Amino acid sequence: MLMMTNDKKVAIVTGSSSGIGNAIVLELARNNFITYGTMRNLDKISDLKTIADQENLKIYFKQLDVTDDNSVKNAINSIVEETGRIDVLVNNAGYGLVGAFEDLSLDEVQKQFETNVFGVIRVTQAVLPTMRKQESGIIVNISSGAGRFGYPTASAYVSSKFALEGLTESMSYEIEPFGIRTVLIEPGVIKTNFFNSMSLARKSKDPDSPYLQMMQVMEKSVTKMLEKGTIPQYVAKTVLEAVTSKNPKLRYLVGKDVEQWIENKKKMSDEEFHDMMALLG
Ligand SMILES: NC(=O)c1ccc[n+]([C@@H]2O[C@H](COP(=O)([O-])OP(=O)(O)OC[C@H]3O[C@@H](n4cnc5c(N)ncnc54)[C@H](OP(=O)(O)O)[C@@H]3O)[C@@H](O)[C@H]2O)c1
């Protein structure tokens, strides 16, 4: 073991080169966690590294592409070699694929799941043996309001987050007896690069797509929602609350918008909720 952790907890965050992941790394490091900011491209560490140096924060960096078996294995093994333990894993890396269902190619949907679902499985399975041996730990999966309800032109992204919800909920029963907790963070619209980095289905770019008008309406509606979006630091604060809680909840909503959607979903019949969402597209 290379590092004395002195009872400090060790946290790993995936996809920390920007947005929510970046904010979570800073929040955990500022609250005494030895924090590993992992990212697929280490050329992007500069922002975090500058702040870490200025504030003397214990942030370490590792290359980790959630879609690459070797990259995941190497990163997790080297963290365990350095610290001997892992207390927190935040599965944050993800992106959105946009396009009407009929316009999606199977390849595009598979890539979406490769990152948002199989990426989480890959990293979590690499971390669990260490948490199980130490009989403690917490897995935090960054889901979305899109893990609780569907909406137009996002069936690939929504289904990846629904899969994440089912995976997390089921896994919790199995790993709780070993002292490991699981948490789902469900943000609403958060002001990050997410919307600029979205992948647009190739067929959606075709001006003859029968769904062109629906795509344009949705784009406008998302731009409007973004104006009222929540800053990523709120998501980070919620993650801190969950990982420092003695008894973390399974689900945490982040943002007034998603709180309102879920409130509506509880109050409305499926048909009423469907009619309200249909107005968006
Ligand atoms: N923004 C929102 O409104 C919102 C709402 C609900 C949930 N979420 C979820 O929050 C998470 C973070 O998104 P964000 O809003 O912070 O967007 P973001 O700023 O685009 O950040 C996404 C991060 O994921 C990383 N990533 C993508 N593919 C990866 C891979 N294969 N391996 C490792 N890292 C990878 C990106 O790395 P690169 O820099 O290399 O691309 C980037 O660091 C996602 O899971 C997203 O679904 C976002």
pLDDT tens digits for range 55-111: 999 999 999 999 999 999 999 999 999 999 999 999 999 999 999 999 999 999 999
pLDDT > 70 in the chain, percent: 99
279: pLDDT strictly greater than 70: yes
Cβ(111) – ligand 1 distance below 6 Å: no
What's the gap between Cα 133 and its chain centre? 25
280: pLDDT strictly greater than 80: no
- Best residue among 194, 230, 234 to mutate for probing ligand 1's pocket (most ligand atoms within 8 Å of CB) is 194
Task: Report the nearest atom of ligand 1 relative to the CA of 41.
Answer: 40
Task: Report the nearest atom of ligand 1 relative to the CA of 67.
Answer: 31
Cβ(75) – ligand 1 distance below 6 Å: no
pLDDT of residue 6: 77
Q: Span 10-278: which CATH code?
A: 3.40.50.720
Cβ(40) – ligand 1 distance below 6 Å: yes
pLDDT of residue 277: 87
Cβ(115) – ligand 1 distance below 6 Å: yes
CB 235 within 8 A of CB 190: yes
pLDDT of residue 281: 67
What separation in Å is there between the alpha carbon of 94 and the centre of ligand 1? 4
CB 191 within 8 A of CB 232: yes
CB contact burial 104-138 (16+ within 10 A = b; e otherwise) = beeebbebbbebbbebbebbbebbbebbeeeeebb
Examine the residue annotation and report whether 173 is marked as an active-site residue of this protein. Answer: no
Cβ(38) – ligand 1 distance below 6 Å: no
Spell out the domain ranges in the chain: 10-278
Cβ(14) – ligand 1 distance below 6 Å: yes
Sheet with 251-254, side-by-side order of all strands:
59-63, 34-39, 10-13, 88-91, 137-142, 180-187, 251-254
pLDDT of residue 4: 75
Task: Report the nearest atom of ligand 1 relative to the CA of 95.
Answer: 47
pLDDT of residue 155: 98
- Best residue among 20, 74, 199 to mutate for probing ligand 1's pocket (most ligand atoms within 8 Å of CB) is 20
